[in-house]
Amino acid sequence: MKIFNVEQIRAMDAYTIAHEPISSLDLMERASQAFVRWFCNQYVNTRPVAVFCGKGNNGGDGLAIARILNSGGYDVAVYVIEYGTNASADFQNNLARLQNHLTPKSIQSTSDFPKLDKNVVCIDALLGSGLSRPVTGLLAEVVEALNALPNRLVAVDIASGLYADRPNAADDVIIKPDFTISFQLPKLAFLLPQNAEYVGEWHIVDIGLSAEYIRQTETSLHYTEKQTACKLIKPRQKFSHKGTYGHAVIIAGSFGKMGAAVLSGKACLRSGVGLLTMHIPGCGYQITQISVPEAMATVDHNEKCISELPDLASATAIGIGPGIGQDIGTVKALEKLLETSEVPLIIDADALNILSQNRDLLEKLPENTILTPHPKEFQRLAGESSNEYERLETGRKFAAKYKVIICLKGANTAVILPNGEVHFNSTGNAGMATGGTGDVLTGIITSLLAQKYAPAEAAILGVYEHGLAGDRAAEMKGQSAMIASDVIDCLGW
- Closest to 429 (Cα-Cα) out of 140, 201, 101: 201
> pLDDT digit string (tens) for 185-196?
999 999 999 999
HSE of 159, CA atoms in CB hemisphere, 13 A: 31
How high is the pLDDT of residue 381?
97
> pLDDT digit string (tens) for 329-361?
999 999 999 999 999 999 999 999 999 999 999
Q: Which residues of 98-128 are buried (b: 16+ CB within 10 A; e: fewer)?
A: beeebebeebeeeeebeebeeebbbbbbbbb
Q: What's the CATH code, domain 6-219?
A: 3.40.50.10260
Cβ atoms 429, 470 nearer than 8 A: yes
- Closest to 123 (Cα-Cα) out of 79, 93, 84, 86: 79
Q: For residues 476 and 472, what is the distance between their CA atoms, to the nearest angstrom?
A: 6
Q: For residues 365 and 388, what is the distance between their CA atoms, to the nearest angstrom?
A: 25
> pLDDT digit string (tens) for 255-276?
999 999 999 999 999 999 999 9
Q: Which residues of 302-330 are buried (b: 16+ CB within 10 A; e: fewer)?
A: bebbbbebbebeebbbbbbbbbbbbbebb
Question: Residue 385's CB: how many other CB atoms inside 10 A?
Answer: 16
- Closest to 59 (Cα-Cα) out of 85, 41, 40, 39: 85
272 Rama sector, left if φ>0, alpha if ψ -120 to 50, beta otherwise: left
The structural domains of the chain, with segments of one domain joined by +, span 6-219, 229-489
Q: Which residues contact residue 391 at a Cβ distance below 8 angstroms, ignoring those fewer than 6 apart?
A: 375, 378, 385, 408
> How is domain 229-489 classified at the CATH fold level?
UDP-N-acetylmuramoyl-L-alanine:D-glutamate ligase (3.40.1190)
Instruction: For the chain of 493 residues, list the mean pLDDT of each consecutive stretch of 10.
Output: 97 98 98 98 97 97 98 98 91 96 96 97 97 96 98 98 97 98 98 97 98 98 97 96 97 98 98 98 98 98 98 98 98 98 98 98 98 97 96 98 98 97 98 98 98 98 98 98 98 92
Tell me the whole-structure pTM to 2 decimals: 0.96
